[in-house]
Amino acid sequence: MSSSVERQVLPTNVKPTHYDLWLKPDLDAFVYDGRVQITLQGVEASKVITLNTNELKIHSATLNVGDASQAALDISYDTDKTRASLTFDQGVPVGAQAILDIKFEGILNNQMVGFYRSSYKDEEGNTKYLATTQFEPTDARRAFPCWDEPSLKATFDITLVAPKEMQALSNMNVIADEAYGEEGTLKQVRFATTPKMSTYLVAFVVGPFDYIEAMTSGEHNGHPIQVRVYAPPGTAEQGRLALNVAVKALEYFAKVFGEPYPLPKMDMVAISEFESGAMENWGLVTYRTIYLLFDEKNSSVQFKKSTAYVVCHELAHQWFGNLVTMQWWNELYLNEAFATWVGWLAVDHIYPEWDIWTSFVNDDMPRALKLDSLRSSHPIEVDVADASEIHQIFDAISYDKGASVIRMLSSWLGVDTFLAGVRRYIQRHKWENASSDNLWTALSEEAGLDVSKFMTLWTKHVGYPVLTVQEGESNIDITQSRYLSTGDVNAQDEKTTWWVPLHLKTSDGQVQPLVLTDDHQSFSLPADGLYKLNAEQTALYRVLYPPSAISRLAGEIRKPDHGLLSSTADRVGLISDVGSLMVSGEQSTASFLDLVQAFEHEQQYFVWSQLASHMASLVSTWYEQPKEVRDQLLKVRSNLFGPLADRLGWEVQATDDDLTNLLRTLALSNAGVSKHEATVAEAKRRFWAYLDGEHEAIHPNLRSCVFNIVLNEFEGDELTRAWDAVLAIYQDESLPTDQRLVALASLGAASDPVLVQRCLAMAMDEVQVRAQDVIYIFSTLGDNSKARDALWDYFVQNFDALHSKFGQNISMFSLIVRSAIRGYASLDRVTSIQQFFVGKDTKEYARALDQALESVQVRAKWVQRDADPVRQYLASA
């Protein structure tokens, strides 16, 4: 781990307080002219001024102090540290104010970072371009020379020169829009001065958009806020869901945080090429199209939930991240973990019928627990020195583990107490930068206890515990140790004794607020022997129950009301624990398969989703086992999901709620890929009917399910015909984005070698697949056991080309690395992959590579340990 003294930060001899930025992008030549006038405060007498630039050409730099003007004597670049140093004759005196005037030129790159170009098709089908930004964490320096560190907040005046027919947007509202130049084709748009803010939150967009708008009530914001969704022409109405959610979320957050939204407007823009899900730029949030636009008629229900959540997450940042900002990127989780937790809090407020916190237990917590079960994980709070390291911590630890720890704390303190502490924190630090210690102090003052003592154990230490339970006559003995999915914990791993809320639930429905503070403690056992730890799964740990306890809990599951496990979250949590502990070897795979049978009459979507996840992991990991074993595993899954699929059927009813629709899709998908005959036959029938023009044959919720089933089942010419048909659906730009991407992802489900190669060829063809969407191909092929080797061979043979194309976008390239590796399950494969990377500079994607390799080791050890017992279990079942 890097220490703080190694951080690549700028000299502190001057401090920026204001930027006046002018930009004139050329959307044909993909360059832009720029001028920035930066107001500086002299901290030390300085003749050399160093600031951040990356791929910018500085034409001139002038320093104005009072009436005196100095041209730079020298301009030198440090490309490794993305800096430029400007040398002046006199410089800036101590305490003086100066204006640094820089004229420069930049590139509208195609890497989805900095100030970049994004393509779209006009009404005639011609490829055109718009200009947009993505600055987090360290790419504002790609757009304009600046002090690109989160603690160096300043105000900004921004002016854009744009084609007169296009929208020009920035963080603030427009204050002037006037003709520019003599040709009459351009306009110059000036925006109001921003509040004091970090450079990574600055944003500007120039492009052709339609918009829809609404206003907040003003009840909690002091005055109504104008909210708009901007989208490509003809698609703005698909932003209606996001617009409605945004209005409600802004009002909710103003109330919850006790602070009005401070800007006069909130614009949300759909960008056709966008690397991440969305970016919380203050007042101008940019989104990948799939997370902002939702077609009520033609989009599937799973995207409704993701749209609502992403909007709430980004708007939560307007307070937590934008108004109060972390000091440095080691506390990224302060932004992302909190926005994740409070984003779900807002979705729960807006859509209480979605059972959001059980969804969190089913989806978010397992992502955190899975990644943090690796030795190659990292603490929530991890120091990072430079841009390559910063990019690599935008992961499930910073987001999902951080949010899970916040949920654990808020559940322990009580949500009302927790939010009161947050309000105290925001009021104390608004407009400034703050640290996690500042947050713990505010929470401690509100709660009347030392929150820091508890939270530091969880944020500054890697990993989490597994609690091993032993039962006596009247007591349970609980021992905590670090959980590793490799199952080989040693003394060096045992560095933390966590403070663990036990939340012991008994058969009378009571939850005892017990806490485990030592490595080993004893607690009273209920008289009837029935108990469950971690009620509602609000705390971050695994529980290893003895077989007798598992048997009793399985008996509870079989009851009509599920008895002690009446909470859906508790059933999900039990499956998650037992399913993960079979991977690490602390419980057998046979025990998990036994437990699965207890859920025969389960009704809840999230429980089935958790079962499906662990069954998919088992089937995927066992892909090199004998065919009869693989077939028997598919039969187990078919016997589980087939009856559920038969009961729910294919027809989506108007009275079905969202969770029922999700359950139907899950059941049919799992039954179909497990070769459940009735499901496969009906999927094939509906597929051909759909292609014949009977579009109602496949409800939008079920298209991914059907495409995957048929491409997995068809062979020969029939498969090729079906694959071409799904490809045509992806290429149909009249369809909603989510439906097109469903088709793209499905293409990798085919096992025919020719079709796999066609998939791979598409990955490097920007005409066919946008760079942001390549991961849909790689991910699906990596999950396809019959395409895995072809994907790896392609990755090896095209490594230089892939790195050249995606290397500037560290997050994207890291995802490609993971997809090419993670599906394997042999130690020999680990060795060969390691050999491939010998001699390569892996610094920028080291975490992704290490985690993917360790995941393969986990799978390999699981198979080595349990292959024979599973074979014997299946043979006797």
Render pLDDT for 210-267 as a digit per residue (tens, 0 to 9). Answer: 999 999 998 777 889 999 999 999 999 999 999 999 999 999 999 999 999 999 999 9
State the residue for tokens 């009446």. Answer: 566
Q: Which two tokens stand for residue 450?
A: 């030392």
Least confident of 301-315, 556-570, 794-808: 794-808
**Any known ligand binding at 313?**
yes
Confidence of residue 385 (pLDDT cuts 50, 70, 90): confident
Instruction: Give the burial string for 430-464 (b: 16+ CB within 10 Å, else e).
Output: beebbbbebbbbbbbebbeeebbebbbebbebbbb
> What dihedral do alpha carbons 424, 428, 433, 438 form, nearest 10°?
-50
Strand partners, 32: 25, 106
In the predicted model, is pLDDT for residue 156 greater than 70? yes
d(CA 250, CA 291): 18
d(CA 336, CA 314): 9
Helix (H, G, I), strand (E, B) or coil at 632: helix
pLDDT at 490: 83
- Verify whether residue 314 is a known catalytic residue: yes
Name every residue whose Cβ is closer than 8 Å to that of residue 556 and which is 6 or more positions away in sequence. Answer: 530, 562, 563, 564, 565
In the predicted model, is pLDDT for residue 2 greater than 70? no
pTM comes to 0.95
Q: Rounded mean pLDDT of 66-83?
A: 95
In the predicted model, is pLDDT for residue 702 greater than 70? yes
Least confident of 390-399, 548-557, 726-735: 390-399
Let me know: does 424 contact 442? Beta carbons within 8 Å: yes
Name every residue whose Cβ is closer than 8 Å to that of residue 681 and which is 6 or more positions away in sequence. Answer: none
State the residue for tokens 């004893």. Answer: 522
pLDDT at 811: 81
Which one is catalytic: 136, 251, 275, 314? 314
**Any known ligand binding at 336?**
yes
Q: Which two tokens stand for residue 339?
A: 């926005």
Return the percent helix, strand and coil in the chain, to nearest 5: 45, 20, 30
Which H, E and C letters describe 543-560, residue by residue?
EECCHHHHHHHHHHHHCC
Confidence of residue 4 (pLDDT cuts 50, 70, 90): very low
Q: Rounded mean pLDDT of 679-687?
A: 97
- Which amino acid appears at position 387 of this protein? A
In the predicted model, is pLDDT for residue 331 greater than 70? yes
State the residue for tokens 């002091």. Answer: 222
User: 485-537: per-residue pLDDT in tens?
Assistant: 998 888 777 789 999 999 999 999 899 989 999 999 999 988 888 999 999 99
Mean pLDDT (the chain) is 94
pLDDT at 219: 79
In the predicted model, is pLDDT for residue 40 greater than 90? yes
pLDDT at 618: 97
Q: Rounded mean pLDDT of 617-633?
A: 96
Residue 520 CB: number of other CB atoms within 10 A?
Answer: 13
Residue 64 CB: number of other CB atoms within 10 A?
Answer: 16
Domains of the chain and any CATH numbers:
1-206 (2.60.40.1730), 325-459 (1.10.390.10), 465-545 (2.60.40.1910), 714-877 (1.25.50.20)
In the predicted model, is pLDDT for residue 1 greater than 50? no
Instruction: Give the burial string for 798-819 (b: 16+ CB within 10 Å, else e).
Output: ebeebbebbebbbbbbbbbbbb
User: 428-450: per-residue pLDDT in tens?
Assistant: 999 999 999 999 999 999 999 99
pLDDT at 117: 96
**Any known ligand binding at 429?**
no
- For CA atoms 586, 590, 591, 597, the dihedral sign is positive
Confidence of residue 384 (pLDDT cuts 50, 70, 90): confident
Helix (H, G, I), strand (E, B) or coil at 214: strand
Q: Rounded mean pLDDT of 390-416?
A: 90
Confidence of residue 298 (pLDDT cuts 50, 70, 90): confident
In the predicted model, is pLDDT for residue 271 greater than 80? yes
User: 454-491: per-residue pLDDT in tens?
Assistant: 899 999 999 999 999 999 989 999 999 999 999 888 87
